[in-house]
Amino acid sequence: MAFNIALVGCGGMGLRHAHGYVELIKTFGASGAPGAGPLEMIAVCDRHEGPAKKVADLIEQGTGKRPAIFLDFDTMLRDLKSLDAVDIVTDTPMHHRFAMAAMDAGLHAMTEKPMGLTLKACRMMRETAMRAGKVIAVAENYRRDPVNRLSRALLDGGAIGRPYFALDVALSSARGGVMHGTVWRAKRDQAGGTVLDAGVHNADMLLYLMGPARTVYAETATFERQRELRGMESQSPQLAEFYSHRVETGGSAGDMIEHDAADTAFAVVRFESGAIGQLSLSDTSHGERVGQSSVHGSDGTLIRTQSRSGKPAEIRREGESIKGADLLALVPEFRLDDVTAGLWGSDRVGSYDFEFRETDRKIVAIEYADFARAVATGTQPEVGPQEGMAALALAYGVMESGEAGVPVSVDDVVSGAVSKFQDDIDRTMGI
């Protein structure tokens, strides 16, 4: 019997999830991905009919089966008795509400990143999952890129010796626009802004590569408070094809939007291992993009490339550079899992040359397979509550520290002992 799932939220990322589902079916067929079994998207839900239809059309074209369309989440939960799980891809403020309602109704839940609006929302989600005995998974995509899997294997295998420090610097320019043309991303109380919306990926990758974080100290700022609402063509041409169908209710193109979420953060992290990390994020770096992601150790440096670019990582040692396929020789035991290997056509990948849309849908397919596998086997997904909360706590740790002007313990952000920045959000959003 198939694992029946509904896709909730049919905006930009919802459409990308639909592509990922089609990729899963096309690659592994009706019997499903290895270890996961058959999965079927039987419904899609969005409060706007146009986006829901667009996503249902795509699924029908790709798989031959049309999912049912619902415009109201509660109605779907009530009426669709054959549902096993929901995949929540709404904007972030709805993640915890929908995940908890679903689990209380006996369903498993996967949410897009960030797991929930705040750590308090995440703790409530985790408690609901434990009480209801349901799986909660987080669709965090960057770490699942085969190039990032290889980077992790190289670090684990000692290719740079003992890691001393890591840099993750992502400074770019939104050219005065609202990120992705989505008004909720401008708002502090909706997990908007570069630290919460984008930085949670950087946080997850730092933790994936460097292990748990102990403390974070940050300076944060909102430099550009008035931003223009624009279409995605001018914001991110690579993502524009996924966003043209979405309905924006917060304003019209050309409107100036109040951007009260932080747009800049410079943070220093101390990891449990003793290593140090620097995390710098901004979308107000005009005329100059700075991107650097590297881990520096006792024997050399690992230089990472942009997740999902397919470009190879590199190990630099004094007088030596090792790149691409040659990196594989450093980790003879390295193997991708069966699902990733099935999608990439090899279990040893050092680089690849796909268009973004193809890489993106393959990674979403991995997320669906991992979620279905966790449910089928009664185990945790790769990114469950612990990993989802750790990444969000590092991102919120940046904001808590930035506002308080002191370093904060990341564990205290997870537990709620440090929460001043988030308390306002919890109050405003009724959490």
The residues that touch ligand NAD, with contacts defined as CB under 6 A, are 9-14, 45-48, 51, 73, 89-92, 94, 112-113, 141, 180, 182, 197, 246
Smallest separation, CB 46 to ligand NAD (Å): 4
Closest-by-Cβ residue to ligand NAD is 11
**Residue nearer to ligand NAD on the CB measure, 215 or 293:** 293
Identity of the residue numbered 272: E
| Contacts (Cβ under 8 Å, ≥6 apart) of 133 | none
Beta bridge partners of 139: 112
Smallest separation, CB 97 to ligand NAD (Å): 8
Whole-angstrom distance, CA of residue 89 vs CA of residue 9 = 5
**Residue nearer to ligand NAD on the CB measure, 69 or 404:** 69
Structure tokens at 17: 């999830």
3-state secondary structure of 144: helix
Smallest separation, CB 25 to ligand NAD (Å): 20
**Residue nearer to ligand NAD on the CB measure, 314 or 382:** 382
**Residue nearer to ligand NAD on the CB measure, 319 or 430:** 430
**Residue nearer to ligand NAD on the CB measure, 174 or 275:** 174
Whole-angstrom distance, CA of residue 93 vs CA of residue 429 = 8
**Residue nearer to ligand NAD on the CB measure, 134 or 144:** 144
DSSP letter (8 states) at residue 337 = -
**Three state DSSP letters for 359-397:** HHHHHHHHHHHHHHHHHHHCCCCCCCHHHHHHHHHHHHH
Phi, psi of 270 (to 5 degrees): -110, 125
Q: What residue has token string 């990948």?
A: 349
Q: Within 10 A of 430 (CB to CB), how many other CB atoms are there?
A: 6
Phi, psi of 426 (to 5 degrees): -60, -40
Contact 3, 37 (CB under 8 A): yes
Structure tokens at 43: 């419904």
**Residue nearer to ligand NAD on the CB measure, 10 or 389:** 10
Smallest separation, CB 307 to ligand NAD (Å): 9
